[in-house]
Amino acid sequence: MNYTLHVYNQEIIKESTMALIPHYTNTGHLQCTILETFGEIRVEESPSSVLNESCVYYGGSFDGSLKSARRILKRQKNLPIMVSLPLEYCMIPLGSPMKKDTAWVAAHHIEDVEPNGANSIIIFYNKVKLEVNISSAVLEHRIAKAAHMINTYRLRQKMSKNRKNSNIIAEDREEY
């Protein structure tokens, strides 16, 4: 598979975004490589900046998404972030979500995870492989958290649609 490389000042997460990979320049500046389904894009900002700008672009914020994730996944750490609820773009951190140099992977692009010693290899649906320094058990647990969060949002949307379509009148005044 051939990849092309583009360099931009700013970029947002799209349907084709598979991963945000941090890297430092020779001068020590944190930048990001965005792994797309058909290439890579280098961005002159950190993965956390790309993630935050993407949340804002889709109508939210990183802090709001993190707060929502904390309510759904109580007492959990290293929470996934919903970049866009309607589009179900959920990014999974490979480290602490609070660190600017954490790598992120898109839940909807992961086909499989293979153990590789203390590391693991993520296999995306387009058959691109990415080796990451996190165990397969931990990574699979984070994928499960992301799936739980996505399903919770789907259920909430379905429930709110059902409420709009029902003509039930509340028995108690407090229900209004």
pLDDT of residue 176: 47
pLDDT of residue 137: 96
Six token digits for residue 52? 């935050």
The pTM of the full predicted model, rounded to 2 decimals, is: 0.83
The ranges of the chain with pLDDT < 50 are 7, 176
pLDDT of residue 7: 47
Q: 78 Cβ partners below 8 Å, 6+ apart?
A: 93, 95, 96, 97, 142
Q: Strand, helix or coil at 19?
A: strand
DSSP 107-131: GGGEEEEEEETTEEEEEETTS-EEE
β-strand partners of 114: 121
pLDDT of residue 1: 54
Residue type, 99: K
Pair type for strands 4-8 and 39-43: parallel
pLDDT of residue 159: 84
With tokens 């900002």, the residue in question is: 45
175: DSSP letter: G
pLDDT of residue 162: 72
